[in-house]
Structure formats: C-alpha cells, structure tokens
Chain A
Amino acid sequence: MWSAPLTVYQYVLLVYFSGLNLLYALFCCVGLRALVIVFAREFSQGSLRDLLERDVYKPVSILVPAYDEEVSIVGSVRSLLALQFPEFEVIVVSDGSTDETMARLVDAFALAEQPWASRQDLPTAPVRRTFRSLTHPNLVVVDKENGGKADALNAGLNLARYPLFAAVDADSMLDAEAILRATRLFVEDETLVAVGGTIRPLNGAVVRDGRVTELAMPKRWIERFQVLEYARAFFTGRAGWSHFKSLLIISGAFGLFRRTAVLEAGGFLVGTVSEDMELVVRLHKHFLRKGQPYNIRFTPDPICWTEVPTDLKTLRRQRNRWHRGLCETLWKHRDMLFNPRYGRLGMVAVPYFWFFEALSPLVEVSGYLIVGVGAFTGFVSPRFAILFVLLAVMYGMLLSQLAAGVETFLSTRYPRMRDRIVLLVAAFIEFVGYRQFLVFERTLATVQVPFKKGQWGKMRRQGATAIATPDPGQAVTAPRP
C-alpha cells in the first residue's frame, strides 16, 4: 500500500536533490565568476586610493540599537566613534533599557540632554529624552520606551540626517575603509538602495587598534565550521544572487542603506525576528511596484568582522532565530511567490528561498527518514541507501570546498598552511554531525514559526572581549547540499 507513494516521494526527493544541487552549483559558479571578473578586475587598491583621497563618498549615520547593554555599550560606542571615517554620526538608541545602559553612556561621553526637533517619518514608541555629547559632537543618544529592535532602528532613522545609514551591532567590528568603500558604491550608482558587505568570523583573529592584524583559525571545531559556512554563504551564495539582481538578504551586521529609500518603503517592520531581511524584501517589492530603477547588491570588498557563537546552545538559538525570521519574512511576502509582477524575484528568487531554504530542513529530514526506514524494511537496498546518502554528503563537501577555495584567493586569508588544511578538513567533517545538528534545529524552527512569532530569546553579553550572541537579525543562511 505504501510502496507507490513512497516511490513517488523518492522521485520527488531525487528531483529536489538534483535541482537543489544544480542551483547551488550554478550560483557558486556565477558568484565565483562575478568575484573574479568584476570585483577583482575593476578596482585595484591604487585606483581606489586616489578617489578616496578626494573625499568622494557619502556621509553615514550609524544606528546602534541597544537594550540592557550596560556591559559592552561604552566599549562598542567608543570603537565606533574611533572610526577614521570623514563624516559620520553615531546614533545610539536605548530601547527602554532597564539596567545602567543610559547611566554609563551619560558618564562615559558627557551627555547633555537637548531638545530635538525632527520629522517623525516613522511611527515609534515614545521617545523620552535625547542627548548630545559634549565630547563627541557626532554622537547622539536616544532614550525611548521599549518597542523592539526594529522600533529602535526606526527611532534612530527619524533622527538620522545623512543620506546613508548603517544599522550595526554593538559586537561587530567595522573597518572605516570598509564603510568608505561601501559608500563609494552609492556614489557610482545612483539607483543603489542597499549594499551588503561580507561578514567574516573574528574568532581566532588577533585584533590591534580595532584592526585585524593576524588571521588564524579558531581552536574549536564549532567555530571552524562557521568560518566555512560564512565563506559559503557570502562568496558563493550572495555573490551569485547579487549578480542576478535578486539579493534578498543583507546581513544586519553590515548593511548600508539609502535613508530616503527605506523611509519610502516604511522603515523597519516591528514585531519580526529578522527585520533586516524583511526590509530588503520590502524594498524590492516597493520599487518593483513603483517601477523605479533600483539596485540592491552585495559586494565582497567591505568586510565586517563579528564574533560567532562558541557553544552549541547559543548556536542553536541563533540558527533557530534566523530560520524563523526567514520563514516569517517569506510568509509575510507570500504574495510574491510565482508572481510575474515581481519579475526574476517572484519567479526565481522567492520560490528558491521557499523550497530550497525554508522547507529544505523538512525535506532533508524526511529524506534521511525515508532512506533509513526504507533500508531497514528492505524497500530500499541498504547498499543503495548508503551510496545515495554518501553522494549527497560528498556533493555538499564539494560546495564547501569551493567556498574554502574562494577564501584562499582573498588578500586577507588564513595565511598558515596548517589553517588551510584545517579548513579543508572542516569541509569534510562538517557533514558528519554538525550539519545534521543544524538541520534538526532548523526543522524545529520551521515548526515553531506560528508559536514564536517575533520572539528573540535572551541575548547574552559577556563583556567587551567575547560576545557570544551576534546580531539576531544577521540572516546568513548556510547553503545546504
């Protein structure tokens, strides 16, 4: 009785597997080609230097939402203020913090209350007080009632006065030259609405004066796997999507947006877990509906360094949150699915994220189950089942190796041969346990979506040196085999 549906489902799995890997391979190759031809050839260090020396950039407002960040907020703001960027402002928004966040900011930066006149382009929770710093004229601090991260970002946007803004996390390390290079893209392309840079794990690196001086692989395998995941997600995944002008995700840790465009689209959406991805999708929708030329792209050049989780519990929570955010966003914008009105986005990108990102954990788990059960019951030849699983795993390893390879070509790569070997080994053993662990967590997240709408969970801060939970809005989706 079950053989016919099982057989049909096996074919479905096979088609799914082949299609998924075909698309992965396509994006990997396209992304790599874009990196090699476009990014590597267009600009050298020297040419860019000439232009940067002439102050051809756009000033930036850096928004820092904070909630109960008394431990790390002063250090984070200090490092942001120390950026050697020609013109920028830092807007810290305390989202109804119940601890000493505000008090520490007031002490550290000699804040003085100042009444503020601004347009309320976006509705937010009430703003209690605004402060300017007597020591740092480009620092503004806002104390508002609690409304969530998106609400805090919207409050910051209302006050921001520069044409571009970046919503950064307190625990991300930004390179001033990275921002400069990113803002230059807005100079070059007036239709550019948002730019995403590359996020790379900081774990294991040696940092001096706010710059990474030495890159080394972290000690724990859980961190090493994440190095590979980030390389895969950015250098193959996003580069490919950006080339097709269908980039749906810009990481919250480092994204530069045009302020007026975001205001037009309505700002950040309150009540969602991944407000950054939701914003990008909404920007696409808004400009496609309007029929106005626009561009949202990824560029590998500006690099933001961030601490990645070092323990399984935090990693689980992070990936659960990311996947829920992905599902929430896709569900909210489900009208784009197979909708020709949205062009390539509606017909290719959104369906891809639906079937090969959001639902893939379910498919993968069902695949394991069917193959396992089938082998056990004799429906599937055990030998065949093992070979098939092996093929799936090896194909994933191939993609990981490709990502590890792209990292080899970067100027700031892991320099030691030992680290290179570790990275290649990680590409193999990632698929023996780590990957299945994440698939399980993402499956759980898919099921939890209706029950945990907009919930972040607890964010743990360990101090200025080690922050285990990066930005919850950092929707880096790891590709799967």
Chain B
Amino acid sequence: METLRPKDARILVVDDERVNVVLLERILEQDGYTNVRSTTKSEQAVALYDEFEPDLILLDLHMPGLDGFAVMERLEDRIARDTFLPILILTADIRPEVKRRALSAGAKDFVTKPFDRTEVLLRIQNLLETRFLHMRLRPELASEGQAT
C-alpha cells in the first residue's frame, strides 16, 4: 500500500464565514497541504464528504441552518465504525459542556477562535498522522480479527 504523507491528505473546511474559510485555505496551502476543499454552506457538507472523501474535516460549530452538531450527526451514518476520521472543531466557545457535547458527537479535537496559526497546523498534523497510522494498521487489525 502506498505510504501516504499527511501533506497528501484531503482536507475539507466547513465554515459559514468566508473569511475563516479563505484564511484556513491559505494557512494550509502555505504549509504544503494542496488538497483542500471548502464550503460556506453547511448543507453541502455531507454531499462534499461523499464526493471528496476527506481525511480531515475542519468544522465550525455555530452555523445557520445545519450547525456543526447536525453535520456530525449526519456524517455519523456515513463513517464506517472502524474508520478514524478526525473532525477538528472551530469554535469560540470554551465551555466544558460544549466540548463534551462535541466530543461525544464525534469531534476529535478543538481549536478555539481566534486561533493561532501554529497551533492549528500542529493539531492538524497530529490528527492526520493518527489517521494515516490507523489506515496503515487497519488491514493488519482486520486480519488479526479474522484469525481470532
């Protein structure tokens, strides 16, 4: 299996604020991520997921119409149980109950707004490394499971 580098990852950005989307795209582009798609319409998130099959999703929590929680709920059916799909939440809300709710809904990490570029990139890198490690190990784990 071809070894994927985190920089080859497909990243999907979902945020209703165009400024946030543009900024994140530029930050990612500057850091070497070339495969980035984005949308400001949360209703398109699921369709984009099906089409793009991202390795990481940057998701805003508070959006008009479908908010981040609703998007995660809809994605839950599409993500296979043995898949590690990291969802990085962008939020200004630091309250523990919100974090707990997002974590239980499927988020893997948080970035609070206003965010720091270095922190964002480090979190993205960590999540993608975990994702690709999981993908590499998945066939072995599956075969182990069959053997036992």
Q: Chain A residues near B66 (CB, 8 Å)?
A: 84, 209
Q: CA–CA, A52 to B92, complex, Å?
A: 10
Closest B residue, CB atoms, query A177: B64
Closest A residue, CB atoms, query B92: A53
Pairwise interchain contact B70-A53, C-beta atoms closer than 8 A? no
Cβ of B109 within 8 Å of any chain A Cβ, yes or no, is: no
Pairwise interchain contact B92-A54, C-beta atoms closer than 8 A? yes
Q: Chain B residues near A50 (CB, 8 Å)?
A: 92
Pairwise interchain contact A84-B93, C-beta atoms closer than 8 A? no
Pairwise interchain contact A209-B61, C-beta atoms closer than 8 A? no
**Nearest Cβ distance between residue A183 and chain B, in whole angstroms?**
15
Pairwise interchain contact A54-B93, C-beta atoms closer than 8 A? yes
Interface size for B (C-beta < 8 A) is 13
Closest B residue, CB atoms, query A52: B62
Pairwise interchain contact A55-B67, C-beta atoms closer than 8 A? no
Pairwise interchain contact B95-A209, C-beta atoms closer than 8 A? no
Q: CA–CA, A55 to B92, complex, Å?
A: 11
Pairwise interchain contact A53-B65, C-beta atoms closer than 8 A? no
**Nearest Cβ distance between residue A46 and chain B, in whole angstroms?**
9
Cβ of A333 within 8 Å of any chain B Cβ, yes or no, is: no
Pairwise interchain contact B65-A211, C-beta atoms closer than 8 A? yes
Cβ of A49 within 8 Å of any chain B Cβ, yes or no, is: yes
> Which of B70, B91, B93 has the most C-beta atoms of chain A within 10 angstroms of its own C-beta?
B93
Main secondary structure of the interface of A (DSSP, over half): mixed
Choose one: B67, B91, B95, B98; the contact of A84 (CB below 8 Å). Answer: B67
Interface bits A43-60 vs B (CB < 8 Å: 1, else 0): 000000110111100000
Q: Chain B residues near A209 (CB, 8 Å)?
A: 43, 65-66
Classify chain A: how many residues form its interface, as a range: 10 to 19
Pairwise interchain contact B65-A54, C-beta atoms closer than 8 A? no
**Nearest Cβ distance between residue B2 and chain A, in whole angstroms?**
39
Q: Chain B residues near A177 (CB, 8 Å)?
A: 64
Pairwise interchain contact B91-A53, C-beta atoms closer than 8 A? yes
**Nearest Cβ distance between residue B55 and chain A, in whole angstroms?**
27
Pairwise interchain contact A53-B43, C-beta atoms closer than 8 A? no
Pairwise interchain contact A55-B65, C-beta atoms closer than 8 A? no
Q: Chain A residues near B95 (CB, 8 Å)?
A: 54-55
Q: CA–CA, A65 to B133, complex, Å?
A: 55
A53-B93 CB under 8 A given contacts A84-B70, A209-B43: yes
Q: CA–CA, A300 to B93, complex, Å?
A: 28
**Nearest Cβ distance between residue B66 and chain A, in whole angstroms?**
7
Pairwise interchain contact B98-A55, C-beta atoms closer than 8 A? yes
Interface bits B86-98 vs A (CB < 8 Å: 1, else 0): 0000011101001
**Nearest Cβ distance between residue B131 and chain A, in whole angstroms?**
28
Interface bits A201-235 vs B (CB < 8 Å: 1, else 0): 00000001111000000000000000000000000
- In the A-B complex, the 10 residue pairs with the smallest Cβ-Cβ separation, listed nearest first, are A53-B62, A53-B92, A84-B67, A53-B93, A177-B64, A211-B65, A209-B43, A54-B93, A84-B70, A209-B65
Given A84-B65, A211-B65, 8 more A-B residue pairs with CB atoms under 8 Å apart are A49-B62, A54-B93, A54-B95, A84-B66, A84-B70, A177-B64, A209-B65, A211-B64
